[in-house]
Amino acid sequence: MTSVVIQGWSWWSSSQFNKRQLAESINNAQNVFEQYTKEKEKLLTTAARVLTADFGFKQAVTTKDAETIASVLLNHGQRIDADLMLLTDLEGQLISSSLLEFNLDSAQTTSLKVLLNDPGKTHFMILQNTLYQLLALSVNAPRPIAYAIVGFEINSVVADELKTLTGLDISFFNDMDSVITSSINTTNDILTPQYLTSKSLSWLFGSRPAFDNRQIEIDTTTEHPIKLFLTADLSSTYEEYDSLLLSITVIASLIMLVAILLSGLFAKNLTKPLYQLVDLSKAFSKGQYVNIASDTKMSQEISTLFDAFSEMGQAIDTRENQILYQSQHDTLTGLYNRHTFRQVISNTLINGKQHLLIAVNIRGFSNLNDILGIQIGDQCLKALAQRLIDFSKDGWQHARLDGDVFLSLIPLVENVHADRCVQEFLTRLAKPLKVDSLELNLKFWTGITIYPQDGDDAKAIFRRTMIALDYAEKDNKPIRYYHTGEEEARLQHLSIIEALRLALILDDGQLYMNYQPKLNLKTGKIDKVEALIRWKHPELGFVSPEIFISYAEQTGIIFDLTAWVIDTVLKQLSDWQQKGIFIDAAINISAQDISHPDFHMNLKEATIKHQISPKYITLEVTERDLMQDEVQAIALLIELKERGYTISVDDYGIGQSSLAKLKQLPVDELKIDKSFIMELNSSESDQIIVSSTISLGHRLGLSVVAEGLENNESLDILKNMGCDHIQGYFLSRPMASEAFIEWLGSYNHKNV
Ligand code: C2E
Ligand code: CA
Ligand code: CA
C-alpha cells in the first residue's frame, strides 16, 4: 500500500512539475520572441531612419526620380539585409519597391494604412503571399511627402531560428487558419490551430494532448489578422515522464515483490511454528503430552514460546500422573484404593484362570489406635502394606480399602491347593511386625473367595469376599471362605428387614408373642414363662425368630423390636394378673439393648404403664452378649438387679466364658443351653457338663434352668442333679396366651 501511494504520488507530482516547467518554458519562449521582435524592430527603425534621412533619397522622392528611388531602396535594403523596401505616398499608394514586379491590391493598400498611421512600430502583415515584419517611417521634406516601409520576411528560416532561440515551435497562421510558416513539419496532416490544440497521442487506456500551445498577441492588421502559436511538442516530455514512471513502477513493484517475499519468509518462520503450537495444544487437550520437537526454523521468541509450551505439557503430564496416581492409590500405603482395585479385579479375572481374593481385617485395630495413637496405627498399616508387597509373588496385587481392610488378588498356581496358599499368606502376614521399636503381634480376620467357583464376574467376587469377611468378623474366625448361596441369603435378609420394619410400624398382628412354661422342680409348679416372639408375614409366611432376630440385631432395629416385646409382654402380665394369675415372664434381651442408653428408661416406663413390679420380670441375656460390652453391661445389670429384675444368663455353656468371670456378673440365673439338654439322657458327656454346671451355679448362688427338655428320662436326671427349673417341648411348646392359660389350667388340674 505504501509503495502504491508513493507511486501514485510520484506520478501526480512529476506531472505537476512537468506542467509547471512547460508553462515556464512557454513564458520564456514568449519573452524571447518579444525580445526578438524588438531587436528586429530596432534594426528596421535604424534602417528606415538612415533611409529617410538620406538627402539624395529625399530629393529623388521630391523629384519623383523613380530610377534613383529604386536604386537607393535596393542599396539600402541590401545593406541592412532587409527583405522588403517600399516607398508609398501619404495615401499608401506604392511608389517604388526593392522587389521587381511588386504590386499592391487595394486591400493591401488599405492594410498598409494601419502601418502608416502608426509609424516607427512594427506590424506583421502579409504582402504578396509573404509574411513580413514591417515598419514605416515618413520621408520628410520637411513635411511628410511619402512613407518608407522596411520589412523582414518571416519564413521557415526565421521560424527555425526562432525555434532555436525559444526552444519551442513557432507557427504563423492567416485569418483563414492556414499556415503561413511554421517550424513544425507535418507529413500527413494539414497544420492548423485546430490541429495543434486537438491532436492527441494515445497513452495507456486513454489519450493525452500532443502539444501545449500558447497564442501570442502580435501587432497585425484587423482586416487580415495573423495568429502566432508557440507550441511545445510534448512527446519528449512524455518520453521522460514515461521513463520516470516506468522506473517508479519498476522500483515500487520491486519493493512490493521484496515485501511479499519477506513477509512470506516471516510468515513461514512465524506461522509454521504457530501451527505446530496449535497442534501441540490440541494434543494437550486430548491428554497427549507429547514433546513435539520442532524441525522448523523459528525466531527466538517463538522458540521460547515453544519451549514454554512443551515444558507446560510436561508439567501438566507430571501433575496429571500425580493426580491419577493419587486417585488410584491409597495415599497412606501406596496400594490401590477400592475404586481402582475393582477395576484391577475385573481386568484380571477374565479368562477363568483360578484366583484367590483375600480380604484381611486386623482384629482389634481400633483398640490399637486408641491405645498407641493414630500415628502408630498408620505406621502399622504402612508396614503391613510393605510386607504384602515384599512377600508378593508374580501377579499378586493388593489394595487397602477403608481403614484396616486389605484386599489381595492372588493367582492360584496349578497343583497348589487354595488352603495351602491361604495358610502361607496368613503365616507370612502374621509374623511379628516391628513398628517404631514396638513389636506387634497382629491377628486377622480373613474373608476368601475363589474365582471362578465363587462367582465368575469381578463384581460378584468382590461382594462375596466382603460378605465372607463380614462373617469372619461376626463368627470371629481367622479364615472364612465364602459359602455358596450366602449372598442370596443376604439379599433375602434385606427384604426381610424391610418387612420387619413395616410389621413393627403397622403393628397389625403379624408380630405376636408365644409363651413357653417353665416348671419349678422344687415346687412342682409352673411359676414362669419365657416370652418368645412370633412373626407371620402375609407373603413370606412364618419367619423363624432365629433368622429375623439376628437380622434385627445386625441392622439395629432390635431396639424397637425389644421395646415392642416388653410392652406386649407386660400388658399380657397385667391381663393375667387381673385374672389372678401371677406368673413370672422371661424376656429375651440383646446386647444392643443393654448398650442402648434409653433401654432402662423404656423398661421402667413400661412397668409403670402396665403396673407390673420388676420382680415378675426376668431378663434373659446370652452369655456372649454379656461378654461383648462388659463394663457397661455390668453397670446396667447391677442397676436392674437392684431394681428387682431377675437376670438370667441364656444359652449358657456355648459361650466359653469362665465361671470366674461369671462370678463378677450380677446375675441370678443360669440357663443351660438346650444343646446340652436335648439328648441329655443319652449323652454321658452332656451329663457331666450339666451336673457340674448345676453344682457350680449353685455354689455361686445362682438358680439353674435347663431348657430344651424333650423327654422324661432327662427330666429325672435333672431332678437328681438338683436343677431348679426345666423348660422344653416335653413340658410344652411355646403357645399363644389363650392356649397357655388353657394349658396351665389343665396342667394344674392334672398335677393337683
Ligand atoms: P432361646 O432364647 O434360646 O429360646 C429358646 C428356643 O428354644 C425357642 O425357639 C424355643 O421354641 C426352643 N425350644 C424350647 N424348648 C425346646 C425343646 O425341647 N427342644 C427344642 N429343639 N427347642 C426348644 P424360638 O422360639 O424359635 O426362638 C429362638 C430364639 O429366638 C430364642 O432362643 C431367642 O434367642 C430368640 N428370640 C425369641 N423370641 C425373642 C424375643 O422376643 N426377643 C429376643 N431378643 N430374642 C428372641
Ligand atoms: Ca431365651
Ligand atoms: Ca436359650
Ligand 1 mutation target, pool 500, 518, 532, 714, most atoms within 8 A of CB? 532
Residue 182 clears pLDDT 70, i.e. is over it: yes
Cα 591 to middle of ligand 2, angstroms: 13
The pLDDT mean for the chain works out to 89
The confidence score (pLDDT) of residue 559 equals 94
Q: How many domains does the chain have?
A: 4
Domain boundary among 156, 184, 212: 184
Ligand 1, atom 7: closest residue by C-alpha: 708
Residue 493 pLDDT? 80
Ligand 3 centroid vs 525 CA: distance in angstroms?
21
Residue nearest to atom 25 of ligand 1 (CA): 532
Q: What is the pLDDT of residue 244?
A: 82
pLDDT in tens, 554-582: 888 999 999 999 999 999 999 999 999 99
Q: Is the pTM of this model over 0.85?
A: no
Distance 733 CA to ligand 2 centre (A): 13
**What CATH number did the domain enclosing 168 receive?**
3.30.450.20
Q: Is the CB of 449 under 6 A from ligand 1?
A: no
pLDDT for the residue 656? 64
16 & 120 share domain: yes
- Domain of residue 88 covers 2-184
Q: Note whether 36 and 162 are within 8 A (CB).
A: yes
Ligand 2: centre distance to CA 715 (Å) = 19
Alpha carbon of 673 to ligand 3 centroid (Å)? 6
Host H or E run for residue 55: helix 55-63
Residue 145, in any domain of the structure: yes
Does residue 489 lie within any of the structural domains? Answer: no
Tell me which H or E stretch contains 216: strand 211-216
pLDDT (mean) for 292-301: 70
Cβ of 653 below 6 Å from ligand 1: no
* One domain, residues 321 and 349: no
The span from the CA of 366 to the CA of 379, in Å, is 14
Asked whether 590 lines ligand 1 (CB < 6 A), one says yes
Q: With 70 as the cut, is the pLDDT of residue 631 above it?
A: yes
Q: Check pLDDT > 90 for residue 616.
A: yes
Give the pLDDT of residue 658: 66
Pocket flag, ligand 1, residue 649 (CB < 6 Å): no
- Confidence label for 520 from pLDDT (cuts 50, 70 and 90): very high
Strand, helix or coil for residue 618: strand
Residue 588 near ligand 1, beta carbon < 6 Å: yes
pLDDT at residue 295 tops 70: no
User: Domain of 645: which CATH number?
Assistant: 3.20.20.450
Mutate to test the pocket of ligand 1, among 588, 621, 677 (most ligand atoms within 8 A of CB): 588
Q: Both 316 and 297 in a single domain?
A: yes
Report which protein residue has its CA nearest ligand 1's atom 22.
708
Domain end point (choices 152, 168, 184)? 184
Mean pLDDT of 462-487: 92
Q: Of 184, 217, 242, which residue is a domain's last?
A: 184
Ligand 1 neighbour 629 (Cβ under 6 A): no
The gap from C-alpha 280 to its chain's centroid, in whole angstroms, comes to 15
C-alpha of residue 488 to centroid of ligand 3, in Å: 28
CA of 650 to the centre of ligand 3 (A): 5
495: in domain: no
Q: Mark out the alpha helices in 172-234 (DSSP H runs).
A: 193-198
pLDDT for the residue numbered 741:
95
Do 319 and 406 lie in a common domain? no
Q: Is residue 215 part of a domain?
A: no
Q: Is the CB of 552 under 6 A from ligand 1?
A: no
The residue that leads in pLDDT, 714 or 65, is 714
Q: Are residues 312 and 359 in the same domain?
A: no
Do 19 and 77 belong to one domain? yes
Flag whether pLDDT at 300 surpasses 90: no
Residue 564 CB less than 6 A away from ligand 1: no
Nearest CA owner, ligand 1 atom 11: 734
> Is 516 near ligand 1, meaning CB less than 6 Å away?
yes
For residue 580, the model assigns a pLDDT of: 94
What is the DSSP track for 109-149?
A: HHHHHHHHHSTTS-EEEEETTEEEEEEEEEEESSSEEEEEE
Q: Is 666 in the pocket of ligand 1 (CB under 6 A)?
A: no
State the burial class of residue 435 (Cβ atoms within 10 Å of its Cβ: 0-12, 13-18, 19+). buried
Burial call 665-677: b when 16+ CB within 10 Å, e when fewer: bebbbbbbbbebb
Looking at all shown ligands, the one closest to residue 591's CA atom is 1
Go through 26-65 and write b for each residue having 16 or more CB atoms within 10 A of its CB, e for each that does not.
beebbebbeebbeebbebbbebbebbbebeebbebbeeeb
* Residue 241 maps to a domain: no
Tell me which ligand sits closest to the C-alpha of residue 727: 1
Are the C-beta atoms of residues 452 and 354 closer than 8 Å to each other? yes
C-alpha cell at 238: 512524455
**Residue 239, pLDDT above cutoff 90:** no
Ligand nearest to the CA of 671: 3
Burial of 745 (0-12, 13-18, 19+ CB in 10 A): exposed
Distance in Å, CA 650 to ligand 2 centroid: 6
What CATH number did the domain enclosing 475 receive?
3.30.70.270
Closest-CA residue, ligand 1 atom 3, reads: 651
- How high is the pLDDT of residue 752? 61
Range with lowest mean pLDDT among 10-19, 222-231, 280-289, 493-502 = 280-289
Ligand nearest to the CA of 588: 1
Helix and strand numbers (H, E) in the chain are 25, 27
Q: Ligand 2 centroid vs 588 CA: distance in angstroms?
A: 5
Regarding the beta carbon of 706 and ligand 1, being less than 6 Å apart is answered no
Q: For residue 657, name the pLDDT band (cuts at 50, 70, 90).
A: low
Nearest CA to ligand 1 atom 26: 545
Residue 726 CB less than 6 A away from ligand 1:
no
**Is the pLDDT reported for residue 291 higher than 90?**
no
pLDDT at position 292 = 64
Residue 257 domain-assigned (yes or no): no
Alpha-carbon distances, residue 572 vs 245, 526, 740, 746 (angstroms): 128, 17, 12, 20
Question: 617 and 737 in one domain?
Answer: yes
Mean pLDDT confidence for 667-687? 94
Ligand 1 close to Cβ of residue 648 (< 6 A) = no
Residue 651 lies in a domain: yes
Residues 600, 629, single domain; the answer is: yes
Confidence check: pLDDT of 100 > 80: no
Choose between 487 and 516: higher pLDDT: 516
Query: Does one domain contain both 454 and 520?
Result: no
How far, in Å, from the CA of 616 to the mean position of ligand 1?
20
Contact partners, residue 52, CB within 8 Å, separation at least 6: 58, 137, 138, 139, 140, 148
Per-residue pLDDT at 689 exceeds 70: yes
Query: For the chain, how far is it from start to end, CA to CA, in angstroms?
Result: 134
- pLDDT of 735 above 90: yes
Residue 530 inside a domain? The answer is yes
Q: Is the CB of 672 under 6 A from ligand 1?
A: no
Ligand located closest to 653 CA: 3
Which amino acid is located at 356 in the chain?
Answer: L
Left if phi > 0, otherwise alpha if psi is -120 to 50, otherwise beta: which for 325? Answer: alpha
Give yes or no: residues 322 and 338 share one domain. no
Q: For ligand 1, is residue 708 a contact (CB within 6 Å)?
A: yes
- pLDDT digits 0-9 by tens, 111-165: 888 888 888 888 998 888 889 999 999 998 888 999 999 999 999 898 999 899 8
pLDDT score, position 218 = 86
Segment 275-285 mean pLDDT: 83
Same domain flag for 474 and 579? no
pLDDT at 293 over 70: no
Q: Are residues 359 and 296 in the same domain?
A: no
562 or 197: whose pLDDT is higher? Answer: 562
